[in-house]
Amino acid sequence: MRPFDQVIVADWSASGSLSPARPSANAIWLGISDASGTQTRYFRSRSEAESHLTATIGDTRGRLLIGFDFPMGYPAGFAARLTGVPQAHAVWSWLAQNLIDGPDNRNTRFETAARINARLGSAGPFWGRPRSLALPALPETKAVDYPALGLAERRQVETLVPRAQPVWKLYTTGAGGGQGLVGQPMIQRLAAGNGVAVWPFDTPDTAVVLAEVYPSLLARAVAADPAPIKDEAQVRLLSRALWRLSQAGQIAPLLATPGGAVTTEEGWILGAGHGAALEAAAR
């Protein structure tokens, strides 16, 4: 596998308003690593960050890997229940048509999740919302009977990485489900260009590869980093680790998956099961 000339890691945000002008936590950060070194960039809105990534993809002359810290798929069976097609791509398309996400970050992620729950005939699988939002189909706290619903609470990869929160959780500490809802339509748009693959759903032999990442795989390295903003440290360290592994010809094992529903519906976290290699490369 040819090495990646540049690696970008994105710490995404599902915020419903613009992030502060001053670089802050819980906003969008990009870690960018290449032969010139590693830098980070801060963005106040998803729209602004997506425009930057779109331009970067368009300008790419070598190979580019972009990792996003949100789920790109759901447990097996969900895609077919929602769209009639058992593929993650179908969910991205459905969300792109049904979820509103404005340039000022205002979005309908909670309303869209409630609509999906109602469509599946239950108060689930999604849960978590501000108490002020009156959405009966979206439980405020976890009150979902997943076996009765016929869906797993966790994807296969989250049994390997138990620290990762379930993709259905939309609110409160550690929730990444909201980022997934607002992020997946962007993945569809970014992947619409020629030479762009979304791993593990596509073979990662193209000029540009998009993948799901989980920066907490580098929890020890991040904890030891002196940066005042954890988000900035995470994207910086993970982009550097992935770039170094790629340059050393050691990234191929990270791009292996179990196959099956992982490569059609669920997705996988790049680096899951390879935390030691990532930690070593980050140092």
Domain residue ranges of the chain, discontinuous segments joined by +: 6-71+180-282, 78-87+97-175
How confident is the model at residue 8, as a pLDDT?
A: 98
How confident is the model at residue 262, as a pLDDT?
A: 97
Six token digits for residue 94: 């459905």
Contact criterion met (CB below 8 Å) for 40 and 176: no
Contact criterion met (CB below 8 Å) for 238 and 7: no
How confident is the model at residue 123, as a pLDDT?
A: 87
How confident is the model at residue 87, as a pLDDT?
A: 98
Classify strands 28-34 and 6-11 as parallel, antiparallel or unpaired.
antiparallel
Q: How far apart are CA 70 and CA 211, in angstroms?
A: 9
Q: How far apart are CA 268 and CA 184, in angstroms?
A: 14
pLDDT tens digits, the chain, 283 residues: what are they? 899 999 999 999 999 999 999 999 999 999 999 999 999 999 999 999 999 999 999 999 999 999 999 999 999 999 999 999 999 999 999 999 999 999 999 999 999 999 999 999 988 999 999 999 999 999 999 989 999 999 999 999 998 999 999 999 999 888 899 999 999 999 999 999 789 999 999 999 999 999 999 999 999 999 999 999 999 999 999 999 999 999 999 999 999 988 999 999 999 999 999 999 999 999 8
Task: For residue 219, give the H/E element and its range.
Answer: helix 219-224
Quickly tell me which residue has 């189909």 as its tokens: 137
